[in-house]
Structure 1
Amino acid sequence: MSPDHAAGDENGRLIQAVAICRDREAFARLFEYFAPRLKAYLMHAGAPAGAAEDFAQDAMLTVWRKADLFDPSRASAATWIFTIARNRRLDVLRKESRPLPVADLSLLPDEPDRPDDLLSGAEEAARLTEAMRRLSPDHIEVLRLAFFQGAAHSEIARHLDLPLGTVKSRIRKAMIKLRIALEPLRGLE
């Protein structure tokens, strides 16, 4: 059994413990694992950081209240929880009469990967890490802020006390360097 599949089974058991006996420790473990992932997912889907955190907490509260509705034969724990978060966000957008974002199903977690997919992903991550090591500290900093912390370009400019154009230029140059560093390797796949 793959580690992801085992984790999925464990998360399903934790949800069932919440449903059956309102197990606070089980819920705390679920919250600790899923809340940051939900926030990142929601930010990637377009929610501002504060709103994403609120949606994530609201989704986890829904998990607490509706754990008895979880059916592991219909969906994995991760899929069920991420769907709750996505639906809560869409409900708020509807109430605010905002246009709904186009669904990007590629953002939802899939069922556990096969071992060869996991190995391929690990190799790709290692290549990306090596390519990142070749970047200048300035490039690494703007990429870290933009992609790993979800900061807007204007926020990065304020944080680093740089002109907005410089931030955009550094991000663009860093991405070009990464693409060049990774391109020859992608051609071999």
Structure 2
Amino acid sequence: MSPSAAQPEPINHDRLIEAVALRRDREAFAELFDYFAPRLKAWLIKSGAAPAAAEDFAQDAMLTVWRKADLFDARKARAATWIFTIARNRRLDMLRRDARPLPTPEIELADQDPQRPDDILSMSQDAERVRDALSRLTPDQSEVLRLAFFVDSPHSEIARRLDLPLGTVKSRIRNAMIKLRQILEPTQGASQ
């Protein structure tokens, strides 16, 4: 038996990613998933993630591979490096998100410790106006505002998380802020 006949031909993961990118090849993706998902899970567990969380991270990373396969460049990195970098970045995103408590208007109002009942009423009415204004935004606008101001995510992280161009994220934030200003600012006629 010759040495070349004894060893199976190695799987070319770069080609599998290209097949996913070009043809949305499900068989190629299944082969990638079968190979990388258990390795990602094991790596994440060794990095300190709980087994269930590691499985979720691995699946999330592989879903990102499916969605962003067209961004893979075999000249810049090998498939394994690219996929493990995606998993690491997704895990860091989740850790950052979980480490920051989401502020709520009630918590922020409670920190001010108002002394007079009319101050309490005024702040309560302001908070209600802001909640109402936020509810009038499109879901896309409210999501980018939540991530930008309540989660305190940088615009580039929001773009990556929502799979949007950075310019689109910035436009949505700007348009949402303009709409909020229009809703919350009293009209000229009402203030006279």
Shorter chain as normaliser: what TM range? 0.3 to 0.5
**Higher relative contact order at CA 8 Å, sep ≥6: structure 1 or structure 2?**
1
State the TM-score, normalizing by the size of structure 2: 0.47
| Higher Rg of the two aligned structures | 2
